[in-house]
Amino acid sequence: MPPGGGAIRVLNVAEKPSVAKSVAEILSRGGMQSRAGRSRYNRVFEFNYAIGAQACHMLVTSVTGHLMELDFDDRYRRWYSCDPAELFHAPVRKAVPQDKQDIKRTLEEEARTCQWLVLWLDCDREGENIAYEVVDICAGANRNLNIWRARFSALIPREIHEAVQHLARPNKLFADAVDARQEIDLRIGASFTRFQTMLLKDAFVLDVSGEERNMVLSYGPCQFPTLGFIVERFWEIQAHEPEEFWTINCSHTSDEGTASFIWIRGHLFDYSSAVVIYEMCVHEPMATVQNVRNQEKLKYPPYPLSTVELQKRASRCCRMSSEHTMKVAEELYQGGFISYPRTETDSFSPNTDLHAIVREQVDHPDWGTYAQRLLNPEERLWRNPSNGGHDDKAHPPIHPTKFSTGENNWSPDHKKVYELVVRHFLACCSQPAVGAETTVEVDIAGEQFNASGRVVLAKNYLDVYRYDSWGGSLLPTYTIGQQFVPTSLTLDSGVTRPPPLLAEADLLSCMDKAGIGTDATMHEHIKKLLDRCYATKDANSRFSPTNLGEALVMGYDEMGYELWKPYLRAMMEADMKSVSVGTKSKAQVLEGCLQQMKACFLDARANKVKLLDAMGTFFARSNRPINETQNTIEVVRPCGACNDSEMLLKRRPNGGFMVGCRGFPQCRNVVWLPGSLAEAAVTQQICPTCIPGPVYKIQFKFNRRDIPPSFDVDHLGCIGGCDDVLKELTEMSRFQHHNQTTMPARSQSQTQTTSTSGVRQGAPRQDLPTGSRSTGQFANQHTPAVNPQGRGQSQTPSGVGVRQGTPRQDLHTVFRTASQFANEQQTPGVNPQGFRSTHTGLTQNSRNASSSGAGQVLCTTCGEACINRTANTEANRGRKFYKCQNPGCGFFVWEDELDNVAPRGRGRGSRGGGRQASASAGRRGGGRGRRGRGNADAEGMTFVSATGDTVHGCCFTCGDPSHFANACPNR
């Protein structure tokens, strides 16, 4: 401590407002002043005090738990912003959230005027971590602060004055251990939670919550092993097959009472054998006493009370949940009635004045008499508490710190918990109960039977600890060699029974033994299972898994991973304890743990079909459309268009696959994959030739019925442009799609509307005759290139079916010239909303029809006169347009563009020497065919509609350049 001198200003920071008030009241002895801080809930108390020889002007304020939150950078916080696997190494930051900025400002303002900072946070790892959050804020405002730590376990004058007169330094290792746990839990929890939710939520009808669309299928490193205990016991019960057994029961009644003898074999599962032995006993029923044992037995009191034991005993004895128990205990602690309720310690320090704690309870109407007996040496009832073997070096066991017969603001549960704490403390300071136990062994026809009885000689601690019982039947007196005929001798049958469901106390025991969670967080993990609808709890506090909880555990179990087992988390907890004692660094633990869990994550994602199969066992498949962003995202390659993001493998709403830029809609670079695909998954293999790299190969699985027999169903391919097999299957898929869109025409002379991609839009039309050209003829034609972004062309080719950079030949593309389309009176699809008039093309015949006939505009589909309307949208307010009177028709055209839609290049196109339009090129984009390479005429081409108009942009819903969003089939 620094030497004495003039008064200094000391900023004291507690963990909660109520603790700050209690500390200030105790140190000031009620002579404090109070003023408001920046936060209305966290006041500042002022008074004078002396720490040693140093005069101090004390300022006491508080935080409300953690001052900072650990989270990912903004880029990674949105669910669909990145591949969940990236969360294992994505940048994280610890910052003060908006709702605690006022507390931060209070600390900064007060710290600037102070010389000392004294931290009154809870004396466990979590409290130490919060203490360093306070240090970061205060030291940032005043680097010259002298930082001290007050260590206390109860809000009572003795503890508080002792703590402030013996200040220490904060423990950075404790804070590092919590930082490691927070980061590990954030990364693992976020990655698996996003993976599970995006994969499963919309794929199945999950009727487990009223807000199904908003539900989250969370995963927690502690939460899931806790669920595993419940599911494992449930499976054990389900797997149990009742088996009938037989046993012989014998009883003997005398003047002193009745003794029930148990067959030493227990029971037999073979009926014939049991009957034979029973008949032998009936034939020779005389019982001979072979042995009589009398011995003294002791029933010891419990160890001092730790947090886990408090939760277990409150569950068994008071029928209170662990979560509610901790809430009530925290309130009792803040009121100064019990010591700090979060402790692993179950042994008292030799320096603790236990008699003084007992002396405070002698006036209580219920257990005061026992407390007096305990302090009376003549009673010989006192016994120093046993050592449970655990000491967290931070807090003593939970014990009473203030006498109370019940406060006005206490609920019945407050009284129950306070009574449990007091009786437990008095019991652990008491002598064990003493009993006399007698065991009698008899022989009947060679079969052995025995009976036991007990009488309690001295109840001792059982007098106050009413939660324990210890009794037994009193046996008649028997002597060795004595013979008697049993009063009854019966052959009884029964069936084996499965073990019971896990009770909350049993579940806490399992978690404690396996090292799952800490004493302060176990109840939170249990509550999370109930909140997430993974488990239910009945009136007897016994847990059963829901279908959802069982399906998730089953899925991971089928994968062969023990993510639901406690071993991984137990190792993590052990590593974090090593950080707290300095044997491992935080960086070492983070690196090792996250590397291991990322490998588990990647394996689980590669085997996600097991998870889907398990869910399908319990839930019906959903008919809801699944957004492509809600599927597992897998990085394929860097984007060569925007050079700022990655290309991701995604499943489209119609079930197909695509590889699109993560920067969508700013970047619309996309690769359409064959429609014959059934499954696709990105591998770790990198293509050695395609650039920019790395380009990861994809494992494809095709539908056998959709590909020729000469192709394999399974194919490891590359979308970078080097894979000829994938190119050919892409083009075959395009042919199939084109032929499947044919529909009856309105008349022989006029076909119906189509888009430039060959995909029907607006009114249906008859597609191109399938027999008019052979595949070989199509292969010899030229294919225009596509820029799916509608931007200037980059210099980087980008995969199969997408034209990026210099235009090139497409793959065996079906096409016709603009003149041919016009001559056949085939009209391309229109944009009903008129967002982009460049995509709205009228044939020459329809244009002539529009300009004739009393100025009317006729619908090119229905032939009826269109109605004229005025747009009222922000972008086109006041602009005139024509639309068909038929509500089911999609015809639409702007009035000021009727003179600008004349076809261009029709004559040249009809002779094959000009630009050519493709009926399917827009669907998959450009590419380089295996049999059409080297055609120089393909270079420099642009994508045009059937009328020869240049087409720009693509659908902003799915990225397909063949249509706009108003006609998107995925809407």
Question: Running DSSP on this structure, what letter comes out for residue 98?
Answer: G
Distance separating alpha carbons of residues 206 and 892, to the nearest angstrom? 42
Distance separating alpha carbons of residues 495 and 245, to the nearest angstrom? 6
* Nearest partner of 10 among 150, 146, 159, 160, judged by Cα: 146
Quote the Cα angle for 117-120-126, to 5°. 115
Q: Which two tokens stand for residue 98?
A: 């908006």
Question: Running DSSP on this structure, what letter comes out for residue 885?
Answer: S
Q: What is the dihedral of CA 673, 675, 676, 679, to 10 degrees?
A: 60
Q: Which two tokens stand for residue 731?
A: 């083009």
Distance separating alpha carbons of residues 570 and 852, to the nearest angstrom? 83
Task: Classify 662 as helix, strand or coil.
Answer: coil
Q: What is the dihedral of CA 746, 751, 757, 761, to 10 degrees?
A: -30
Catalytic choice (340, 534, 556, 696): 340
Q: Which two tokens stand for residue 659?
A: 């590889």
- Helix pair angle (547-559, 608-618), 10° resolution: 150
Amino acid at the residue 260: S
Q: Which residues contact 659 (CB under 8 A, 6 or more apart)?
A: 636, 637, 647, 648, 649, 650, 670, 671, 673, 719, 799
CB 186 within 8 A of CB 52: no
Distance separating alpha carbons of residues 785 and 778, to the nearest angstrom? 16
Distance separating alpha carbons of residues 47 and 414, to the nearest angstrom? 33
Question: In which region does residue 181 sit, left (phi positive, over 0), alpha (psi from -120 to 50) or beta (all else)?
Answer: alpha
303 labelled catalytic: no
CB 279 within 8 A of CB 242: no
Quote the Cα angle for 933-938-941, to 5°. 155
Q: Which two tokens stand for residue 755?
A: 């888009």
Ramachandran angles phi, psi of 384, nearest 5°: -60, 140
Q: Which two tokens stand for residue 871?
A: 């747009």
Quote the Cα angle for 723-727-731, to 5°. 170
* Nearest partner of 388 among 322, 329, 343, judged by Cα: 343
Distance separating alpha carbons of residues 686 and 633, to the nearest angstrom? 18
* Nearest partner of 150 among 36, 58, 39, 287, judged by Cα: 58
CB 150 within 8 A of CB 163: yes
- Helix pair angle (504-514, 307-318), 10° resolution: 160
* Nearest partner of 949 among 801, 827, 776, judged by Cα: 827
Distance separating alpha carbons of residues 635 and 650, to the nearest angstrom? 9
Instruction: Please list the residues that pair with 58 across neighbouring strands.
Output: 10, 47
Q: Which residues contact 720 (CB under 8 A, 6 or more apart)?
A: 637, 687, 689, 690, 691, 693, 695, 799
CB 564 within 8 A of CB 557: yes
Q: Which two tokens stand for residue 700?
A: 């494809």
Q: Which two tokens stand for residue 900?
A: 């600008």
Q: Which residues contact 655 (CB under 8 A, 6 or more apart)?
A: none
> What distance separates the 2 farthest-apart alpha carbons in the chain?
130
Distance separating alpha carbons of residues 392 and 168, to the nearest angstrom? 17
Provide the annotated active-site residues.
340
